[in-house]
Structure 1
Amino acid sequence: MSSSGMGPAITHLPLHMKVLFEPRPPIEYIAPPVKRKMPPYTGISDSLPEFESTTPPVRHVSETPRQRQDRVRQEKLAIYQKKLAENIAAWDPQAPSSKQKTEDAYKTLFVGRISYETTEKQLRREFERYGDIVNLRLVEDDDGKCRGYAFVEYKDEGAMKAAYKNADGKKIDGRRVVVDVERGRTVRDWKPRKLGGGIGDTRRGGADVNVKYSGRESIRSITMHRSDDRARGRSRSRGRDPPPPSRPSAYGPSGGSDRYDRPRSRERGPPPPRGRSRDRSRERSRSRDRRRPPSRSRSRPRDYPPSSYRR
Protein backbone atom coordinates (compact mmCIF):
# COMPACT_ATOMS: atom_id res chain seq x y z
CA MET A 1 0.00 0.00 0.00
CA SER A 2 1.02 3.61 -0.42
CA SER A 3 1.88 5.93 2.44
CA SER A 4 -1.54 7.65 2.17
CA GLY A 5 -3.50 4.37 2.70
CA MET A 6 -5.17 4.44 -0.72
CA GLY A 7 -3.99 1.00 -1.93
CA PRO A 8 -0.89 -0.03 -3.91
CA ALA A 9 1.02 2.73 -5.57
CA ILE A 10 0.81 1.06 -9.00
CA THR A 11 -2.99 1.23 -9.10
CA HIS A 12 -2.89 4.84 -10.21
CA LEU A 13 -0.21 4.28 -12.85
CA PRO A 14 -1.07 4.28 -16.52
CA LEU A 15 -1.47 1.00 -18.34
CA HIS A 16 1.83 1.11 -20.21
CA MET A 17 3.66 1.38 -16.87
CA LYS A 18 1.63 -1.27 -15.04
CA VAL A 19 2.88 -3.79 -17.58
CA LEU A 20 6.39 -3.31 -16.19
CA PHE A 21 5.31 -4.52 -12.73
CA GLU A 22 3.48 -7.67 -13.82
CA PRO A 23 5.00 -10.95 -12.40
CA ARG A 24 6.86 -13.35 -14.65
CA PRO A 25 5.31 -16.69 -15.68
CA PRO A 26 6.15 -19.72 -13.45
CA ILE A 27 9.21 -21.85 -14.28
CA GLU A 28 8.47 -24.77 -16.56
CA TYR A 29 8.82 -28.19 -14.94
CA ILE A 30 11.58 -30.44 -16.31
CA ALA A 31 11.81 -34.07 -15.30
CA PRO A 32 15.11 -35.14 -13.64
CA PRO A 33 17.54 -37.20 -15.81
CA VAL A 34 17.50 -40.96 -15.42
CA LYS A 35 20.88 -42.37 -14.21
CA ARG A 36 21.98 -44.93 -16.76
CA LYS A 37 23.90 -48.06 -15.92
CA MET A 38 27.67 -47.97 -16.66
CA PRO A 39 29.58 -50.95 -18.08
CA PRO A 40 31.60 -52.96 -15.53
CA TYR A 41 35.40 -52.79 -15.14
CA THR A 42 37.42 -55.42 -16.99
CA GLY A 43 41.08 -56.55 -16.74
CA ILE A 44 43.99 -55.76 -19.11
CA SER A 45 45.68 -59.13 -19.03
CA ASP A 46 44.43 -59.84 -22.53
CA SER A 47 46.40 -56.82 -23.85
CA LEU A 48 49.79 -57.77 -22.36
CA PRO A 49 51.08 -59.53 -25.51
CA GLU A 50 50.66 -56.28 -27.41
CA PHE A 51 53.29 -54.41 -25.31
CA GLU A 52 56.94 -54.12 -26.54
CA SER A 53 59.44 -56.42 -24.91
CA THR A 54 62.64 -55.05 -26.54
CA THR A 55 64.96 -52.30 -25.20
CA PRO A 56 63.54 -48.82 -25.71
CA PRO A 57 65.34 -46.67 -28.31
CA VAL A 58 67.82 -43.97 -27.29
CA ARG A 59 66.16 -40.68 -26.61
CA HIS A 60 67.49 -37.79 -28.69
CA VAL A 61 67.17 -34.47 -26.87
CA SER A 62 67.29 -31.50 -29.22
CA GLU A 63 69.15 -28.37 -28.05
CA THR A 64 67.31 -25.19 -27.29
CA PRO A 65 67.86 -22.00 -29.31
CA ARG A 66 69.92 -20.53 -26.45
CA GLN A 67 72.14 -23.63 -26.30
CA ARG A 68 72.66 -23.49 -30.05
CA GLN A 69 73.71 -19.84 -29.85
CA ASP A 70 76.20 -20.64 -27.08
CA ARG A 71 77.62 -23.58 -29.04
CA VAL A 72 78.07 -21.54 -32.21
CA ARG A 73 79.67 -18.73 -30.21
CA GLN A 74 82.16 -21.07 -28.58
CA GLU A 75 83.06 -22.62 -31.94
CA LYS A 76 83.69 -19.22 -33.49
CA LEU A 77 85.73 -18.16 -30.46
CA ALA A 78 87.92 -21.26 -30.72
CA ILE A 79 88.54 -20.61 -34.42
CA TYR A 80 89.37 -16.97 -33.69
CA GLN A 81 91.78 -17.86 -30.88
CA LYS A 82 93.59 -20.34 -33.11
CA LYS A 83 93.93 -17.83 -35.93
CA LEU A 84 95.02 -15.13 -33.48
CA ALA A 85 97.77 -17.36 -32.09
CA GLU A 86 99.05 -18.02 -35.62
CA ASN A 87 99.08 -14.29 -36.45
CA ILE A 88 100.91 -13.45 -33.21
CA ALA A 89 103.58 -16.06 -33.99
CA ALA A 90 104.04 -14.68 -37.51
CA TRP A 91 104.06 -10.99 -36.49
CA ASP A 92 107.53 -9.46 -36.15
CA PRO A 93 107.79 -5.64 -36.18
CA GLN A 94 111.60 -5.84 -36.19
CA ALA A 95 111.72 -7.80 -39.45
CA PRO A 96 114.07 -6.05 -41.92
CA SER A 97 111.94 -7.11 -44.90
CA SER A 98 109.17 -4.67 -44.01
CA LYS A 99 109.28 -1.87 -46.57
CA GLN A 100 106.55 0.24 -45.03
CA LYS A 101 108.23 0.91 -41.69
CA THR A 102 110.13 4.13 -41.00
CA GLU A 103 113.88 4.44 -40.59
CA ASP A 104 113.99 5.45 -36.91
CA ALA A 105 111.26 4.28 -34.54
CA TYR A 106 112.24 6.81 -31.86
CA LYS A 107 111.54 9.67 -34.25
CA THR A 108 108.22 8.26 -35.47
CA LEU A 109 104.86 9.49 -34.21
CA PHE A 110 101.62 7.53 -34.45
CA VAL A 111 98.48 9.53 -35.31
CA GLY A 112 95.11 7.82 -34.83
CA ARG A 113 91.38 8.59 -35.16
CA ILE A 114 91.95 10.50 -38.38
CA SER A 115 89.02 11.41 -40.56
CA TYR A 116 88.67 9.20 -43.63
CA GLU A 117 88.60 12.29 -45.85
CA THR A 118 91.94 13.62 -44.56
CA THR A 119 94.86 13.56 -47.02
CA GLU A 120 98.61 13.33 -46.48
CA LYS A 121 98.97 16.95 -47.52
CA GLN A 122 96.68 18.12 -44.73
CA LEU A 123 98.49 15.98 -42.16
CA ARG A 124 101.87 17.27 -43.29
CA ARG A 125 100.67 20.86 -42.97
CA GLU A 126 99.39 20.23 -39.42
CA PHE A 127 102.43 18.34 -38.09
CA GLU A 128 105.32 20.07 -39.82
CA ARG A 129 104.92 23.03 -37.47
CA TYR A 130 106.67 20.95 -34.78
CA GLY A 131 109.70 20.18 -36.94
CA ASP A 132 110.97 18.89 -40.27
CA ILE A 133 109.21 15.73 -41.48
CA VAL A 134 111.26 13.03 -43.19
CA ASN A 135 108.46 10.62 -44.03
CA LEU A 136 104.68 10.63 -43.60
CA ARG A 137 102.65 7.54 -44.43
CA LEU A 138 98.86 7.51 -44.30
CA VAL A 139 97.87 3.84 -43.97
CA GLU A 140 95.38 2.69 -46.62
CA ASP A 141 93.59 -0.57 -47.34
CA ASP A 142 93.71 -2.61 -50.55
CA ASP A 143 91.11 -0.35 -52.18
CA GLY A 144 93.15 2.80 -51.51
CA LYS A 145 90.88 4.10 -48.73
CA CYS A 146 92.24 5.65 -45.56
CA ARG A 147 92.14 3.39 -42.49
CA GLY A 148 92.14 6.25 -39.99
CA TYR A 149 95.75 6.32 -38.78
CA ALA A 150 99.18 7.41 -39.99
CA PHE A 151 102.88 7.45 -39.06
CA VAL A 152 104.94 10.65 -39.08
CA GLU A 153 108.74 10.43 -38.97
CA TYR A 154 110.59 13.60 -37.94
CA LYS A 155 114.14 14.58 -38.66
CA ASP A 156 114.82 15.42 -35.02
CA GLU A 157 113.76 13.41 -31.97
CA GLY A 158 112.98 16.61 -30.08
CA ALA A 159 110.41 17.56 -32.72
CA MET A 160 108.72 14.20 -32.26
CA LYS A 161 108.55 14.71 -28.49
CA ALA A 162 107.10 18.19 -28.99
CA ALA A 163 104.41 16.81 -31.28
CA TYR A 164 103.75 13.98 -28.82
CA LYS A 165 103.17 16.51 -26.06
CA ASN A 166 101.22 19.22 -27.88
CA ALA A 167 99.37 17.58 -30.79
CA ASP A 168 97.26 15.17 -28.73
CA GLY A 169 93.56 16.03 -29.09
CA LYS A 170 94.18 18.34 -32.05
CA LYS A 171 91.13 18.78 -34.30
CA ILE A 172 91.77 17.95 -37.96
CA ASP A 173 88.88 17.88 -40.46
CA GLY A 174 86.36 18.09 -37.65
CA ARG A 175 87.78 15.17 -35.64
CA ARG A 176 90.15 15.21 -32.69
CA VAL A 177 93.12 12.94 -33.28
CA VAL A 178 95.20 11.03 -30.76
CA VAL A 179 98.99 10.87 -31.02
CA ASP A 180 101.35 8.34 -29.52
CA VAL A 181 104.82 6.93 -30.06
CA GLU A 182 105.45 3.94 -32.29
CA ARG A 183 105.19 1.17 -29.71
CA GLY A 184 105.74 -1.74 -32.09
CA ARG A 185 109.53 -1.30 -32.17
CA THR A 186 110.07 0.67 -28.96
CA VAL A 187 108.07 -1.32 -26.38
CA ARG A 188 108.95 -4.91 -25.64
CA ASP A 189 106.23 -7.55 -26.20
CA TRP A 190 103.90 -4.97 -27.69
CA LYS A 191 100.94 -6.17 -29.75
CA PRO A 192 98.60 -4.07 -31.90
CA ARG A 193 94.85 -4.02 -31.49
CA LYS A 194 94.29 -6.57 -34.26
CA LEU A 195 96.40 -9.10 -32.30
CA GLY A 196 94.63 -8.62 -28.99
CA GLY A 197 96.76 -5.75 -27.65
CA GLY A 198 96.65 -2.01 -28.09
CA ILE A 199 95.67 0.74 -25.71
CA GLY A 200 92.56 2.88 -25.42
CA ASP A 201 88.93 2.08 -24.69
CA THR A 202 87.12 3.33 -27.80
CA ARG A 203 86.55 -0.19 -29.22
CA ARG A 204 86.19 -2.25 -26.04
CA GLY A 205 82.52 -3.27 -26.36
CA GLY A 206 79.13 -1.63 -26.62
CA ALA A 207 78.14 2.01 -26.45
CA ASP A 208 77.89 1.91 -22.66
CA VAL A 209 81.49 0.70 -22.32
CA ASN A 210 83.36 2.55 -25.07
CA VAL A 211 85.01 5.87 -24.34
CA LYS A 212 83.69 8.81 -26.35
CA TYR A 213 86.40 11.42 -25.66
CA SER A 214 89.61 11.85 -27.65
CA GLY A 215 93.18 11.93 -26.48
CA ARG A 216 95.51 9.92 -24.27
CA GLU A 217 94.28 11.47 -21.03
CA SER A 218 91.70 9.74 -18.88
CA ILE A 219 88.45 11.35 -17.78
CA ARG A 220 89.83 12.06 -14.32
CA SER A 221 92.92 13.84 -15.62
CA ILE A 222 90.78 15.84 -18.06
CA THR A 223 88.57 17.10 -15.24
CA MET A 224 91.66 17.92 -13.16
CA HIS A 225 93.16 19.84 -16.08
CA ARG A 226 89.93 21.76 -16.60
CA SER A 227 89.73 22.79 -12.95
CA ASP A 228 93.39 23.84 -13.03
CA ASP A 229 92.82 25.80 -16.24
CA ARG A 230 89.93 27.74 -14.72
CA ALA A 231 91.97 28.59 -11.64
CA ARG A 232 94.95 29.75 -13.70
CA GLY A 233 93.00 31.70 -16.28
CA ARG A 234 92.37 28.82 -18.69
CA SER A 235 96.08 28.22 -19.30
CA ARG A 236 96.21 24.67 -20.64
CA SER A 237 99.11 22.51 -19.58
CA ARG A 238 99.85 18.96 -20.71
CA GLY A 239 102.87 18.31 -18.54
CA ARG A 240 101.18 15.34 -16.90
CA ASP A 241 101.38 13.13 -19.99
CA PRO A 242 103.64 10.09 -19.67
CA PRO A 243 106.98 10.66 -21.38
CA PRO A 244 107.74 8.84 -24.63
CA PRO A 245 110.10 5.86 -24.42
CA SER A 246 113.76 6.73 -24.69
CA ARG A 247 116.46 4.97 -26.66
CA PRO A 248 118.21 2.00 -25.02
CA SER A 249 121.37 3.20 -23.32
CA ALA A 250 124.82 1.98 -24.30
CA TYR A 251 125.73 1.66 -20.61
CA GLY A 252 122.97 -0.87 -19.88
CA PRO A 253 119.51 -0.54 -18.40
CA SER A 254 120.77 1.28 -15.32
CA GLY A 255 122.70 4.17 -16.87
CA GLY A 256 122.51 6.85 -19.53
CA SER A 257 118.90 7.94 -19.02
CA ASP A 258 117.76 11.24 -20.46
CA ARG A 259 115.69 13.94 -18.84
CA TYR A 260 112.42 12.24 -19.83
CA ASP A 261 113.21 9.23 -17.64
CA ARG A 262 114.06 11.21 -14.52
CA PRO A 263 111.41 11.16 -11.81
CA ARG A 264 109.83 14.54 -11.28
CA SER A 265 109.31 14.10 -7.56
CA ARG A 266 112.22 15.63 -5.61
CA GLU A 267 113.60 13.56 -2.78
CA ARG A 268 113.78 15.51 0.43
CA GLY A 269 116.26 14.65 3.13
CA PRO A 270 115.55 14.40 6.84
CA PRO A 271 114.51 17.65 8.56
CA PRO A 272 117.33 19.68 10.17
CA PRO A 273 117.78 19.33 13.95
CA ARG A 274 115.95 21.84 16.05
CA GLY A 275 117.96 24.62 17.58
CA ARG A 276 118.53 25.12 21.30
CA SER A 277 116.91 28.55 21.27
CA ARG A 278 113.65 27.04 20.04
CA ASP A 279 113.65 24.40 22.79
CA ARG A 280 114.45 27.00 25.44
CA SER A 281 111.54 29.21 24.37
CA ARG A 282 109.17 26.27 24.68
CA GLU A 283 110.46 25.40 28.16
CA ARG A 284 110.01 29.02 29.28
CA SER A 285 106.42 29.12 28.02
CA ARG A 286 105.64 25.90 29.88
CA SER A 287 107.15 27.18 33.15
CA ARG A 288 105.14 30.40 32.91
CA ASP A 289 101.91 28.45 32.42
CA ARG A 290 102.65 26.39 35.54
CA ARG A 291 103.31 29.47 37.71
CA ARG A 292 100.15 31.26 36.61
CA PRO A 293 97.27 30.83 39.12
CA PRO A 294 94.01 29.39 37.80
CA SER A 295 92.12 32.62 38.59
CA ARG A 296 94.24 34.61 36.15
CA SER A 297 93.52 32.31 33.24
CA ARG A 298 93.13 34.40 30.10
CA SER A 299 91.16 31.77 28.21
CA ARG A 300 87.43 32.47 28.38
CA PRO A 301 85.25 29.35 28.79
CA ARG A 302 82.88 28.84 25.88
CA ASP A 303 80.03 27.40 27.96
CA TYR A 304 79.33 30.66 29.82
CA PRO A 305 76.88 33.09 28.23
CA PRO A 306 78.24 36.53 27.37
CA SER A 307 75.82 38.18 29.83
CA SER A 308 77.74 36.81 32.84
CA TYR A 309 80.74 38.95 31.98
CA ARG A 310 78.67 42.13 31.76
CA ARG A 311 77.61 41.78 35.37
Structure 2
Amino acid sequence: MTQYLPPNLLALFAPRDPVPFLPPLAKLPHEKVHRQPYSGIAVYVHLFEDPKDAPPPTRAETKEERMERKRREKIEKRAQEIEEELKLWDAHTDTNVQGDAFKTLFVARINYDTSESKLRREFEVYGPIRRITMIYNKVSGKPRGYAFIEYEHERDMHSAYKHADGKKIDGKRVLVDVERARTVKGWRPRRLG
Protein backbone atom coordinates (compact mmCIF):
# COMPACT_ATOMS: atom_id res chain seq x y z
CA MET A 1 0.00 0.00 0.00
CA THR A 2 2.85 2.39 0.68
CA GLN A 3 3.86 2.43 -3.01
CA TYR A 4 0.74 4.48 -3.76
CA LEU A 5 1.71 7.26 -1.35
CA PRO A 6 2.99 10.58 -2.70
CA PRO A 7 6.79 11.15 -2.63
CA ASN A 8 6.68 13.57 0.31
CA LEU A 9 5.05 10.87 2.50
CA LEU A 10 7.28 8.09 1.14
CA ALA A 11 10.28 10.07 2.37
CA LEU A 12 8.98 9.59 5.93
CA PHE A 13 9.16 5.78 5.54
CA ALA A 14 12.67 5.71 4.01
CA PRO A 15 15.24 3.62 5.98
CA ARG A 16 18.03 5.36 7.85
CA ASP A 17 21.73 4.99 7.05
CA PRO A 18 23.35 1.83 8.52
CA VAL A 19 25.20 2.12 11.83
CA PRO A 20 28.91 2.66 11.14
CA PHE A 21 31.09 -0.32 12.07
CA LEU A 22 33.64 0.22 14.81
CA PRO A 23 36.23 -2.44 15.71
CA PRO A 24 35.79 -3.91 19.25
CA LEU A 25 37.99 -2.50 22.00
CA ALA A 26 38.92 -5.91 23.39
CA LYS A 27 39.00 -9.37 21.91
CA LEU A 28 35.86 -11.46 22.06
CA PRO A 29 35.90 -14.36 24.57
CA HIS A 30 36.27 -17.03 21.90
CA GLU A 31 39.20 -15.13 20.29
CA LYS A 32 41.27 -14.79 23.45
CA VAL A 33 44.31 -17.00 23.86
CA HIS A 34 44.55 -18.55 27.31
CA ARG A 35 48.12 -18.43 28.48
CA GLN A 36 47.52 -20.69 31.50
CA PRO A 37 45.76 -23.99 30.90
CA TYR A 38 42.96 -25.13 33.19
CA SER A 39 44.11 -27.43 35.98
CA GLY A 40 42.22 -29.69 38.32
CA ILE A 41 41.86 -29.46 42.08
CA ALA A 42 43.82 -32.60 42.82
CA VAL A 43 46.72 -30.59 44.29
CA TYR A 44 44.37 -29.11 46.92
CA VAL A 45 42.58 -32.29 48.01
CA HIS A 46 44.95 -32.80 50.96
CA LEU A 47 43.82 -29.42 52.38
CA PHE A 48 40.15 -30.49 52.49
CA GLU A 49 38.48 -31.57 55.71
CA ASP A 50 38.16 -35.31 56.17
CA PRO A 51 34.49 -36.36 55.91
CA LYS A 52 34.96 -38.69 58.90
CA ASP A 53 35.95 -35.74 61.13
CA ALA A 54 33.07 -33.52 60.04
CA PRO A 55 30.10 -33.27 62.42
CA PRO A 56 26.89 -34.93 61.24
CA PRO A 57 24.70 -32.53 59.26
CA THR A 58 21.96 -30.87 61.28
CA ARG A 59 18.50 -31.41 59.89
CA ALA A 60 16.69 -28.11 59.39
CA GLU A 61 13.05 -27.76 60.38
CA THR A 62 10.62 -27.61 57.46
CA LYS A 63 7.90 -24.99 57.20
CA GLU A 64 5.18 -27.53 57.99
CA GLU A 65 7.09 -28.83 61.03
CA ARG A 66 7.65 -25.28 62.30
CA MET A 67 3.95 -24.45 61.91
CA GLU A 68 2.99 -27.70 63.68
CA ARG A 69 5.47 -26.98 66.52
CA LYS A 70 4.16 -23.42 66.98
CA ARG A 71 0.56 -24.67 66.96
CA ARG A 72 1.42 -27.32 69.57
CA GLU A 73 3.23 -24.75 71.75
CA LYS A 74 0.26 -22.39 71.50
CA ILE A 75 -2.16 -25.15 72.55
CA GLU A 76 0.07 -26.13 75.50
CA LYS A 77 0.42 -22.50 76.58
CA ARG A 78 -3.35 -21.95 76.42
CA ALA A 79 -3.97 -25.18 78.35
CA GLN A 80 -1.59 -23.99 81.07
CA GLU A 81 -3.31 -20.56 81.20
CA ILE A 82 -6.71 -22.25 81.50
CA GLU A 83 -5.38 -24.46 84.30
CA GLU A 84 -4.13 -21.41 86.23
CA GLU A 85 -7.37 -19.45 85.67
CA LEU A 86 -9.42 -22.48 86.73
CA LYS A 87 -7.59 -22.60 90.08
CA LEU A 88 -8.49 -18.94 90.69
CA TRP A 89 -12.11 -19.17 89.46
CA ASP A 90 -14.85 -20.04 91.93
CA ALA A 91 -18.46 -19.03 91.24
CA HIS A 92 -19.48 -19.34 94.91
CA THR A 93 -16.93 -16.75 96.10
CA ASP A 94 -17.44 -14.26 93.22
CA THR A 95 -18.29 -10.81 94.63
CA ASN A 96 -20.21 -9.72 91.51
CA VAL A 97 -22.77 -12.53 91.86
CA GLN A 98 -25.90 -11.76 93.88
CA GLY A 99 -29.13 -13.53 94.75
CA ASP A 100 -30.37 -17.10 94.79
CA ALA A 101 -28.92 -19.27 92.02
CA PHE A 102 -32.04 -21.45 91.81
CA LYS A 103 -34.24 -18.44 91.06
CA THR A 104 -31.87 -16.96 88.47
CA LEU A 105 -32.38 -17.32 84.72
CA PHE A 106 -29.59 -16.87 82.15
CA VAL A 107 -30.62 -15.12 78.92
CA ALA A 108 -28.17 -15.13 75.98
CA ARG A 109 -28.07 -13.86 72.38
CA ILE A 110 -29.75 -10.60 73.36
CA ASN A 111 -29.75 -7.80 70.80
CA TYR A 112 -27.12 -5.21 71.78
CA ASP A 113 -29.75 -2.44 71.57
CA THR A 114 -32.12 -4.16 74.02
CA SER A 115 -32.48 -2.35 77.35
CA GLU A 116 -33.14 -3.72 80.84
CA SER A 117 -36.65 -2.24 80.81
CA LYS A 118 -37.43 -4.10 77.55
CA LEU A 119 -36.16 -7.36 79.10
CA ARG A 120 -38.25 -6.69 82.21
CA ARG A 121 -41.40 -6.17 80.09
CA GLU A 122 -40.77 -9.39 78.13
CA PHE A 123 -39.97 -11.60 81.16
CA GLU A 124 -42.41 -10.19 83.75
CA VAL A 125 -45.08 -12.21 81.99
CA TYR A 126 -43.80 -15.32 83.79
CA GLY A 127 -43.74 -13.79 87.28
CA PRO A 128 -42.43 -10.90 89.42
CA ILE A 129 -38.74 -10.10 88.85
CA ARG A 130 -36.46 -9.20 91.75
CA ARG A 131 -33.37 -8.13 89.78
CA ILE A 132 -32.06 -7.95 86.18
CA THR A 133 -28.31 -7.86 85.67
CA MET A 134 -27.16 -7.09 82.13
CA ILE A 135 -23.48 -7.76 81.56
CA TYR A 136 -21.40 -4.95 80.02
CA ASN A 137 -17.84 -4.79 78.72
CA LYS A 138 -15.66 -3.29 81.47
CA VAL A 139 -13.49 -1.31 79.03
CA SER A 140 -15.94 0.04 76.44
CA GLY A 141 -19.16 -0.12 78.47
CA LYS A 142 -21.04 -1.82 75.62
CA PRO A 143 -23.41 -4.73 76.37
CA ARG A 144 -22.02 -8.25 76.00
CA GLY A 145 -25.31 -9.74 74.77
CA TYR A 146 -26.40 -11.71 77.84
CA ALA A 147 -28.11 -11.08 81.16
CA PHE A 148 -29.20 -12.72 84.42
CA ILE A 149 -32.80 -12.38 85.60
CA GLU A 150 -33.62 -13.22 89.22
CA TYR A 151 -37.27 -14.02 89.96
CA GLU A 152 -39.09 -13.75 93.28
CA HIS A 153 -40.17 -17.42 93.13
CA GLU A 154 -38.46 -20.50 91.76
CA ARG A 155 -41.60 -21.70 89.95
CA ASP A 156 -41.65 -18.44 87.93
CA MET A 157 -38.07 -19.10 86.85
CA HIS A 158 -39.03 -22.63 85.73
CA SER A 159 -41.99 -21.24 83.79
CA ALA A 160 -39.75 -18.71 82.02
CA TYR A 161 -37.16 -21.44 81.35
CA LYS A 162 -39.78 -23.62 79.64
CA HIS A 163 -41.62 -20.97 77.63
CA ALA A 164 -39.16 -18.13 76.85
CA ASP A 165 -36.54 -20.15 74.97
CA GLY A 166 -36.42 -19.01 71.34
CA LYS A 167 -38.55 -15.94 71.99
CA LYS A 168 -37.86 -13.01 69.63
CA ILE A 169 -36.81 -9.81 71.38
CA ASP A 170 -35.86 -6.83 69.20
CA GLY A 171 -35.52 -9.07 66.15
CA LYS A 172 -33.25 -11.72 67.70
CA ARG A 173 -34.18 -15.11 69.14
CA VAL A 174 -32.88 -15.35 72.68
CA LEU A 175 -31.50 -18.45 74.38
CA VAL A 176 -32.71 -19.14 77.91
CA ASP A 177 -31.03 -21.40 80.48
CA VAL A 178 -30.76 -21.79 84.24
CA GLU A 179 -27.71 -20.36 85.99
CA ARG A 180 -25.24 -23.22 85.81
CA ALA A 181 -22.21 -21.75 87.59
CA ARG A 182 -23.62 -22.13 91.11
CA THR A 183 -26.15 -24.92 90.54
CA VAL A 184 -24.24 -27.54 88.50
CA LYS A 185 -21.21 -29.12 90.13
CA GLY A 186 -18.12 -29.22 87.91
CA TRP A 187 -19.52 -26.70 85.41
CA ARG A 188 -17.00 -24.37 83.78
CA PRO A 189 -17.53 -21.17 81.80
CA ARG A 190 -16.76 -21.41 78.08
CA ARG A 191 -13.54 -19.38 78.39
CA LEU A 192 -12.18 -22.06 80.76
CA GLY A 193 -13.05 -25.01 78.54
- TM-score when scaled to structure 1? 0.46
User: Residue 98 of structure 2 corresponds to which residue in structure 1?
Assistant: 102
Change (3 A) 1:48 1:102: closer
Q: 1:123 aligns with which of 119, 122, 138?
A: 119
User: Residue 185 of structure 2 corresponds to which residue in structure 1?
Assistant: 188
Write out aligned runs for 1:30-41 (5 A): none
User: Residue 176 of structure 1 corresponds to which residue in structure 2?
Assistant: 173
Write out aligned runs for 1:101-180 (5 A): 101-142=97-138, 143-180=140-177
Q: 1:71 is matched by which residue type in structure 2?
A: R
Q: Provide, for residues 79-101 of structure 1, a one-character-per-residue CA deviation record: whole Å limited to 9, x for no partner.
A: 10011001111111111xx3321
Q: Which runs of 5+ in 2 are unaligned?
A: 1-39
C-alpha deviation, 1:102, in angstroms? 2.7
C-alpha deviation, 1:53, in angstroms? 2.9
Q: 1:89 aligns with which of 87, 96, 99?
A: 87
Q: 1:152 is matched by which residue type in structure 2?
A: I
Which stretches of structure 1, 4 residues or longer, exceed 6 Å deviation after superposition? none
Q: Provide, for residues 220-274 of structure 1, a one-character-per-residue CA deviation record: whole Å limited to 9, x for no partner.
A: xxxxxxxxxxxxxxxxxxxxxxxxxxxxxxxxxxxxxxxxxxxxxxxxxxxxxxx
Q: 1:65 aligns with which of 58, 63, 66?
A: 63
Corresponding residue SS for 2:187:
coil
Q: 2:112 is matched by which residue type in structure 1?
A: Y
Highest CA radius of gyration, 1 or 2? 1
C-alpha deviation, 1:151, in angstroms? 0.3
C-alpha deviation, 1:52, in angstroms? 2.2
- Higher relative contact order, structure no. (Cα contacts within 8 Å, ≥ 6 residues apart): 2
As a proportion of its length, which structure holds more helix? 2
Change (3 A) 1:164 1:52: same
Change (3 A) 1:107 1:52: same
Q: Distance in 2 between matches of 1:44 and 1:183?
A: 80
What is the RMSD of the two structures over their aligned residues, measured on CA atoms?
A: 2.1
Change (3 A) 1:86 1:47: closer
Asked if 2 retains the 8 angstrom alpha-carbon contact of 1:102 and 1:135, the reply is: no
Work out the percentage of aligned pairs sharing the same amino acid.
Answer: 48
Q: Which runs of 5+ in 1 are unaligned?
A: 1-42, 197-311
Q: Provide, for residues 117-151 of structure 1, a one-character-per-residue CA deviation record: whole Å limited to 9, x for no partner.
A: 21111111111111111000001111211111100
As a proportion of its length, which structure holds more strand? 2
Q: Provide, for residues 260-291 of structure 1, a one-character-per-residue CA deviation record: whole Å limited to 9, x for no partner.
A: xxxxxxxxxxxxxxxxxxxxxxxxxxxxxxxx
